[in-house]
Structure formats: C-alpha cells, structure tokens
Structure 1
Amino acid sequence: MAYGGNGRMFLIAVLYMSLPFVKIGVNIPGTILNAPFISLTDFEANFIRLIDKITNGSRIEINQTGTTLYYQPGLLCGGSLEHDCSPSRSIGYYLESLLCLAPFMKHSLRIVLRGITNDQVDPSVDVLKATAIPLLKRFGIDGEALELKITRRGMPPKGGGEVIFSCPVKRALKPIQYIDPGKIKRIRGVAYSVRVSPQIANRLVDSARSILNKFLPDIYIYTDHMKGSSSGKSPGFGLALVAETTNGTFLSAELSSSPQGQGTPVLPEDLGTNCAKLLLEEIHRGGCVDSTNQTLLLLLMTLGQQDVSKVLLGPLSPYTIEFLRHLRDYFQVMFKIETKLFEEERKGGDKVLMTCVGIGFSNVSKTVR
C-alpha cells in the first residue's frame, strides 16, 4: 500500500501498519514532509527501532538515501524491554504510540524509556500519566500492571530522564457512552525543577494559584525538585496542571522552560500564569477528554466491540481531523459528527458528539492461561 501523508502523520501510518490485524506492507515516500528528497529524521528512525523491538517478524526496508520506507508489520510481542529515545523529541512522543499498542500485545509490556521527559513540543510524561492512564481504564484496561512511573527527569537538550511504562494485555475493549464530562471539582498539578534553585518551583506554584484561586478552592500543586542522578543532564523547570470533573474527566495544560542556550528565557512567574490561563482555555473547550488525548480515545473506540460508542469532545484539533481520515482509510470506520451548541455561557465552547460502531477487534495474540 502506498502512503502519502504529511508531517507527523508518517508515524501514525507506521503505527497502524504494526497492528496485528493489518497484514499488508506500506510504502512511505520521501514526499511525506511535503518536500522531495527529505530523508528520515533521527527521531523517526529511532521510533522505527522501537516498533521493531516490540514486534516479532517485522520487515523494514529503507533506501540508501533514506527517503523511502517499506514496512511489513509483524506480531506485537511485548515483554520486558528498554529503549533509548532520541534527544530530538521527548519520551511523550513515543508513549503516545505505546499507549495505543500496549493493550494488544501477546505479553504484558514493561518498557524502560530513557531520554527527555518534559519539553515544549510533545505531551509530557506527567500529563500522560494524569490523563491517558485513566482513559485506558474506561475501556477496561486496568489492574496493578497499568502504571507510568517517572524515575528520573530529563530536560532538553541533553535529557537524562527515565520512565517505566507497564500495561496489561486485553482480549477486547468495551464500548463506551461518555457524553457528560461533569463539572470541575478540583485542580492538581506538579511544578518541577531540575539543576536550578528549588525556589523556582515554589514561584511557579504561587503564580498559578494567583489565577486559579479565583475560581475554586480545591487546588493542590506539589513541587518536585529532583537532585543528583535523578535530575538528568540539563537544567530546566516547568508546570503541569490537571483539572478533574465530577464524572472523572481530566483536562490538562502544561508549559516548560526553554532548553539551555536556546530560545528566550522565561520567568517562573510568567510561565506559571500562562500555564494557568492555558488550563482555563482547555476547560472552556471542554469535552470528555482534552485535546491531547482526542486521537487515543477515537482509536480505542474504533477498535472496540461491534457496538455503538459515543463521546462528547471539544473542538477537534487539526491533528484529530487528519487522524479521522486515517481511521477511515485503514479501518473503514466513519464517525457520525454532530455539533452541540450550548446557550449557557457556563457550558463553555461548542462541543462535538462523535458516534461510531467498533470493528470488534479481538487480541488473538493474548496468551491463554
């Protein structure tokens, strides 16, 4: 199958082809980044090596110039693995794909990822832990084996962080009816700092609370200042905030400092204030998941049992819209999209009701005990 996507969709195509029920190869030409003769970047090649580690029998061919990739999917095996991520992207870039694939492997996955834990580009490990893990539990993927743990933090450009992700396998996903996000009841967060003054984390907390305290009292932001080998190789700081609703919906926002020697330096007070405003904007957008996890939710709905699943989302991001096209191309699944308008200002922005019937995927690779 020939593939011609754009930008980041390249890795989504590889992700789909690695799923065990897609048994055809995929050709990805060099025009993927909308420019001819651009070869694979270091983080894309690193991601392909990760896919090769978690599968058995995959066939990967890259031409001499690195502008064309042929990928024949193998069986998702899982097991206990380790992987050193590229310093060009954070660990969250790799975790986004592992969260989709881990439940469908032959053996439970336990993988140690090393690299950058927080940056300005990809979702941080803190946000994925607070939002994506509860989302997996809604589809019946739970138990003590489902865990995302930060053992060392690493900031760009040198990284040095370490994360342990473990996930049990699941035979089938249950359909969901998730149309009432509920009302915000509390806000939690983490202000982290590495290889800088511990007082910076406190300044982040104070500036964020100066905005959020005007809306609700139940706010707790804890500080995380790692030292020594746990602090990675580069200095930096940042803030991750998560709002939880009465129905178990999690909406997130995050910001981090510029990499050492790059970009414009930012004051902790400005970063904390801006992050709080981003969280308020995400709450206004609303929906049952935040914009970071829209694609994960839609993919799990697609792979669910042959029953109707419904979810209420905020405005769809451009990435999500392109993702829906891939779901149509590879799984022949189309979503019914209905716009929900709210007259009350307290309901936030306009919402989108997404409805689909799952393909009824069953994980035949799961070991029978």
Structure 2
Amino acid sequence: MTAASLNYSGHLHFRHRLVLSVLSGKIIKIDKIRPGDKNPGLRDYEVSLLRLIEKVTNGTVIEISLTGTAILVKPGIISGGPVVHECPPSRSVGYFLEPIITLAPFSKKPLALTLRGITTDDKDLSVDLIRTVTLPHLEPFGISDGLELKIKKRGSPPLGGGEVLFLCPIVKQVKTLNFVEPGKIKRIRGISHAVRVSPQFSNRMIEAARSVLNRYIPDIYLYSDVYKGEESGKSPGYALSLVAESTTAALHCAEAVSQPGVAPEDIALQATRSLLNEIERGGCVDQKHQTLVLLLMALGSEDVGRCRMAEPTERTIQFLRDVKDAFGTSFKIIPADKSNQSSHLLYSCYGTGYVNTNRSLA
C-alpha cells in the first residue's frame, strides 16, 4: 500500500471514512469488519452505500473480500448528474443522503439523486430534518442556489415505499465559516406526519408538543403533513420532527418516531424533551451536524474558520482524527468563554483551500 492510502479496522465510522477517501482521492482499505460476528462482514446497507458511491462517481474501483470482512476503495472523480438508487429496508434514506450531501457540491455536474426506501426511522436523520436542518447548514459555506430536497412519497418501516429527490448545485470552493454567536432561541418549527394511520394521530402529537413548548417560547408553528394513497408508502407510522432557530440562525433539532404500543402523545413528548436537551447544550451547531460543519471548515479557503459548538460526540472525536489522516488538517479546540460559564468550545482550523477540480467548465 502507498503512503497516500488510509488504513482502518472495524465497521465503525464507515460512512465518513468513505467520504474522506473520495474527497482526498486517497485509496482506503478497511479490514476486520465484524470478524467475530455470527454474520461477519459488510451489512446489506453498507454494500448498498458502496454501490451508490459507484453511481455518483466515475472510475471508482471497489474490491470486497470473499468473506466481506475487508474492502479496498480506489476513488474516482465525483461525476454527479441524474442518479436513481433503491435503498434496502434495513436503513432509511437518511443513512445514504448524509454522506452524499458532503460529496455532491464537488461534482462535475449538479447532482439529481432519487432515493427510494424508508424516509423516517429511529436510527438515522429523517428526510424532514435533512431538508429543514442539514441543508441550511450548507448555506454559510456558499452552497445554496438550487439546493433542495423534495419528499415525493413517505415510507415508514418496515416496508418503506418512500421516495425523495435531492438536488445539489456545484461549487468551485467553499467559503470560510466564522460562526461564534449562538444567539437566543426565537422560534420553533415542527413537522408532524402520519401515514396509513388516522390523521388524528398527527394532531395529537402537535397538541402534546405544544403543551410543553408553549411554556418555553410563544413563536411556535407545528405543521401537520398528511400523505395519502400511493404517496404514503407501504407501512403505517408517524413521527414528529422539531427545529429550534436562534436569532443568529443557529439550528437545533430533535425527532421521535412511532414505536409499537406507544401513544402519539408520548412520541411527541419524547421529541420535545430531546429538543430542549439540545437547546440546553447550545452552541451554533447541534450534535447531529458537528461532523458536517467540521468537514466543510477543513475544506474551506486558506483562512482560519471558527465555529462554536457543544462538546464533541465520540463520533466527532474520531472524525477529527480521520480528517487529519486524509487532509493533514488539525483543529484547535479551546473553551469558548474565559469565564467558564458555559461548556461551549471554540473549534478553529486553517482551511485546506480545497478546489473542485471535477467541475465541468462548460
């Protein structure tokens, strides 16, 4: 193996390592993928993600060992264009969208990706949060015109049947981020949806969430999103996604998804408590989006980018180590307040000046 390759063991952090490999152009080798498991090797959704990366890139070579416990990926260029992909029912569309969102701005052509499968589950970000929270996080980096996620059909577990269309423009370079003022929460928005169950479930979730949130802030708008017939997928389900926005456009989000035997009111209270916990942690970026923002900061123009966030999650800590492997970029992390009144940290790094060389000049 050459010095320009990335070598890892184990199945954890699989998605962001693939993203770093494609963006840096470095070969990646991952071994010991669940070797001692009853069912060793890659899962169907991991193989599916590799196939999706093949579709959105050109010239990528993927080798999987016979047992599926080791892979070798030689990344090609990110080509973009129209792509259609069927996601297995073991993971929701969000599992596949998250890594693609970080690759798409650096494509040769604008990406128009249609994904079919489960749109909301309890493992990954739902399509609602990706549309209302993940995509707005790209705007400060200069990725906004033509950026859109359309929910054409909803699909609940286990059978799915949902469909989304993700449209992403291309950029030459991302801007440097300087986001250090978290501001105060000024409004809360939410989407409550119910498919193949009584539409009343959606209203019950909204009322239960309001009973708690109204005590916190007056500007609340919770929207009931009802899909019927073909557009409601193949399985019954309901969920509530909540987003709190601050005076400086910092976003914090939470959601809860229907569980067998759990009343809609309890699902709503679960989402509401999660949101209030996120708000309490504070910062300019919530924990679910730390890695996305830190990656784009590392790719920023050759200047110092800064962002104020809460403490890093385990996933974020490993991600920072992997970014150093791929791009040689280190982050400086210091307490945001000298007075130590908050646990916020200030993350800063010198951008690599990453340029989208795939871009077609035509």
Q: d(CA) in 2 for partners of 1:152 and 1:342? A: 49
Q: d(CA) in 2 for partners of 1:150 and 1:2? A: 36
8 Å contact kept, 2:35–2:41: no
Q: Report the counterpart of residue 39 of structure 1 in structure 2.
A: 41
Q: Report the counterpart of residue 297 of structure 1 in structure 2.
A: 293
If the length of structure 1 is used for normalisation, what is the TM-score?
0.93
Q: Which stretch shows the higher mean deviation, 81-90 or 1-10? A: 1-10
If the length of structure 2 is used for normalisation, what is the TM-score?
0.95
Q: Which stretch shows the higher mean deviation, 108-117 or 34-43? A: 34-43
Q: Report the counterpart of residue 115 of structure 1 in structure 2.
A: 117
Q: Does residue 1:137 correspond to 2:130, yes or no?
A: no
8 Å contact kept, 1:87–1:158: yes
Deviation string for 1:30-57 (max 9, x for gaps)? x234747821100000000000000111
Matched position secondary structure for 2:7: coil
Q: d(CA) in 2 for partners of 1:173 and 1:161? A: 32
Q: d(CA) in 1 for partners of 2:257 and 2:101? A: 23
Q: 1:313 is matched with which residue: 298, 309, 312?
A: 309
Q: Classify 1:61/1:202 alpha carbon distance in 2 versus 1 (closer, same or farther; 3 Å).
A: same
Q: d(CA) in 2 for partners of 1:285 and 1:7? A: 29
Q: d(CA) in 2 for partners of 1:298 and 1:338? A: 15
> What aligned pairs does 1:321-340 form with structure 2 within 5 A after superposition?
321-340=317-336
Q: 1:16 is matched with which residue: 20, 27, 32?
A: 20
Matched position secondary structure for 2:242: strand
Q: d(CA) in 2 for partners of 1:278 and 1:111? A: 31
Q: Classify 1:176/1:256 alpha carbon distance in 2 versus 1 (closer, same or farther; 3 Å).
A: same
Matched position secondary structure for 1:87: coil
Q: 2:93 is matched with which residue: 91, 94, 100?
A: 91
Matched position secondary structure for 2:256: strand
Q: Report the counterpart of residue 158 of structure 2 in structure 1.
A: 157
Q: d(CA) in 2 for partners of 1:241 and 1:2? A: 38
> What aligned pairs does 1:82-231 form with structure 2 within 5 A after superposition?
82-143=84-145, 145-231=146-232
Matched position secondary structure for 2:190: strand
- Cα distance, 1:343 vs structure 2: 6.5
> What aligned pairs does 1:229-240 form with structure 2 within 5 A after superposition?
229-240=230-241
Q: d(CA) in 1 for partners of 2:331 and 2:62? A: 32
- Cα distance, 1:290 vs structure 2: 1.0
Matched position secondary structure for 1:271: helix
Q: Classify 1:85/1:342 alpha carbon distance in 2 versus 1 (closer, same or farther; 3 Å).
A: farther
Deviation string for 1:170-204 (max 9, x for gaps)? 00011011000111110000010000000000000
8 Å contact kept, 2:194–2:202: yes
Q: Does residue 1:256 correspond to 2:249, yes or no?
A: no
Amino acid across the alignment from 2:345: V
Q: d(CA) in 2 for partners of 1:249 and 1:26? A: 34
Q: Which stretch shows the higher mean deviation, 67-76 or 35-44? A: 35-44
Q: Classify 1:2/1:169 alpha carbon distance in 2 versus 1 (closer, same or farther; 3 Å).
A: closer
Deviation string for 1:128-162 (max 9, x for gaps)? 1111111111100111x210111100011110000
Q: Does residue 1:360 correspond to 2:358, yes or no?
A: no
Kindly tell me the number of residue pairs found equivalent between the two proteins: 357
Amino acid across the alignment from 2:144: D
What runs of 5+ residues in structure 1 fail to find an aligned partner? 259-263
> What aligned pairs does 1:41-60 form with structure 2 within 5 A after superposition?
41-60=43-62
Q: Classify 1:147/1:234 alpha carbon distance in 2 versus 1 (closer, same or farther; 3 Å).
A: same
Q: Report the counterpart of residue 66 of structure 1 in structure 2.
A: 68
8 Å contact kept, 1:342–1:350: no
Q: For the aligned residues, what is the CA RMSD?
A: 1.6
Q: d(CA) in 1 for partners of 2:33 and 2:316? A: 18
8 Å contact kept, 2:34–2:41: no
Q: Report the counterpart of residue 261 of structure 1 in structure 2.
A: none
Amino acid across the alignment from 2:282: G
Deviation string for 1:106-128 (max 9, x for gaps)? 00001100001100000111111
Q: d(CA) in 2 for partners of 1:136 and 1:5? A: 31
Amino acid across the alignment from 1:208: A
Q: Classify 1:34/1:295 alpha carbon distance in 2 versus 1 (closer, same or farther; 3 Å).
A: farther
Q: 1:350 is matched with which residue: 343, 348, 356?
A: 343
Q: d(CA) in 2 for partners of 1:341 and 1:271? A: 36
Matched position secondary structure for 1:28: strand
Q: Which stretch shows the higher mean deviation, 103-112 or 33-42? A: 33-42
Amino acid across the alignment from 2:172: R
Q: d(CA) in 2 for partners of 1:125 and 1:97? A: 14
Q: d(CA) in 2 for partners of 1:357 and 1:180? A: 20
8 Å contact kept, 2:89–2:118: yes
Aligned sequence identity (%) = 44
